[in-house]
Amino acid sequence: MRLVWRTTFTSSLKLTIMERFKTVMLNLVLLLLLQPALAQVTLKTNAVSVVVAGTSTLHDWEMKATNGSIAANFELDAAGKPTDLLSLNFVVGPTALKSGKEAMDNNAYKAMDTKAYNVIKFAATSGTVTAQGNSYIVKCVGMLQIAGKAVNTEIVATCTVGADGSISFNGKKAIKMTTFGVKPPTFMMGSIKTGDDITISFSGVMRK
């Protein structure tokens, strides 16, 4: 009798363990199936519009470029909406910025020492994506380099997702020229001086 009872007890214990194992595995599979499918996509454009705006003792001024380049790697959910920013790199040539006034442009290029430093760039080291209604707020922190000096900077952009999966973006960033070692340009033998504070606005559409 004891032998039979022990055999029966052992068989029941093994059955219980197997049933629990199957239940755990089933729950794990269901959990994985219920998780949203995530994908990664790289979007690019070579037509970023950049506007640098500032002031002077004479009047406000702007310099514009339309050939900035950006490449961003996003994580998307099952619906194709961005949930995270994995990487972002932006580049524009400083001499691509034009005010429409050659003398002003030349003074600006001299101040930025464009002969030695022929690129303005930003490389994100971290980023977040936050849904806000039908748009998304993308915040990224990284190194903004102007005139050869790189400064840790936060950039914020508002984005919308198109039906084709493209992402339209726009934003602006206020900085000081002297933060990047750039002396504000002067004109007319120093009688006209530009302000230290400038605002960089940017916009464009990224596609696969």
Distance CA 43, CA 3 (A): 70
Distance CA 149, CA 180 (A): 6
Distance CA 50, CA 53 (A): 10
For 35, what's the count of Cα atoms within 13 Å in the CB-facing half-sphere?
8
Sequence spans of domains, the chain: 1-35, 39-206
Q: What CATH architecture applies to the domain 39-206?
A: Beta Barrel (2.40)
The separation between CA 182 and the C-alpha centre of its own chain, rounded to angstroms, equals 25
Going residue by residue through the chain, which has 208 residues, state the pLDDT in tens, using 9 for 90 and above.
444 445 554 555 555 666 765 665 655 544 444 445 569 999 999 999 999 999 999 899 999 999 999 999 999 998 899 999 999 999 999 999 999 999 999 999 999 999 999 999 999 999 999 999 999 999 999 999 999 999 999 999 999 999 999 999 999 999 999 999 999 998 777 778 999 999 999 999 999 9
Spell out the residues 6+ positions from residue 137 whose beta carbon is closer than 8 angstroms to its own. Answer: 129, 130, 156, 157, 158, 159
Distance CA 47, CA 50 (A): 9
Residue 34 has a CB neighbour count (10 Å cut-off) of 7
